[in-house]
Amino acid sequence: MSNSTAKSATPFGFEKGLKVEEVTCDIEEINFGIYVTSQPPKPHSSFSSYVLRIAPQSGLYWVKGISGDIETDSAGTMLKSRADNMIERLAKVYGPPERILFFNPGTIWGESEDFMMGMACNEIHYGASWSKEAHELPSGLGNIYFAINAKSSNTGYMIIEYEFDNHEQGEREVEEVEDGAL
């Protein structure tokens, strides 16, 4: 792994602290401080929509990429294969991740053919994460989270979330503005 701390993080071409008026692509506000786009400055073929969280003063503090639907079987074979490939690609950039494969205690979805239904019921979790405490992340990044989710027993999708190190400040700022409406 190269020393990734020498450069700043720009997932999908978005920089930490970017203000709404500085965003160079078309975005739509879907809730206060939450924006969506399908055309980021640096798109990735595995993801079709992107969500941005932007606070008025702190600017951009969180980016999420969401894939299109991925058809699979009830065991999630194709979905897990696509996820494992993406995790390998991310590991080349950010180093070996903390792998996530978690079954909620007492789940009834423990058999391999139940994988997709277990994920749809939020009882099975599959993915990987990188944190600045355990990894040499690029400057400005705090955490990266990658996961797969199920829409049905034979359809799923991938997500990746980039949390910048101004995340807590941005969340507080948005909460304060929203609390002013109460």
Burial class (CB in 10 A: 0-12, 13-18, 19+), 136: middle
Full pLDDT tens readout for the chain, 182 residues: 444 445 788 999 999 999 999 999 999 999 999 999 999 999 999 999 999 999 999 999 999 999 999 999 999 999 999 999 999 999 999 999 999 999 988 888 878 899 999 999 999 999 999 999 999 999 999 999 999 999 999 999 999 999 999 999 999 999 999 888 88
d(CA 168, CA 155): 33
What does the pLDDT read at residue 6? 53
What does the pLDDT read at residue 4? 42
Long-range contacts of 111-116 (CB under 8 A, 24+ apart): 112/75, 113/74, 113/75, 114/74, 115/74, 115/75, 115/76, 115/80, 116/72, 116/73, 116/74, 116/75, 116/76, 116/79, 116/150, 116/152, 116/153, 116/154, 116/156
DSSP 20: G
Are 79 and 120 contacting, i.e. CB atoms less than 8 angstroms apart? no
| Domain-wise residue ranges, the chain | 16-78+93-179
What does the pLDDT read at residue 3? 43
Instruction: Quote the pTM value.
Output: 0.92
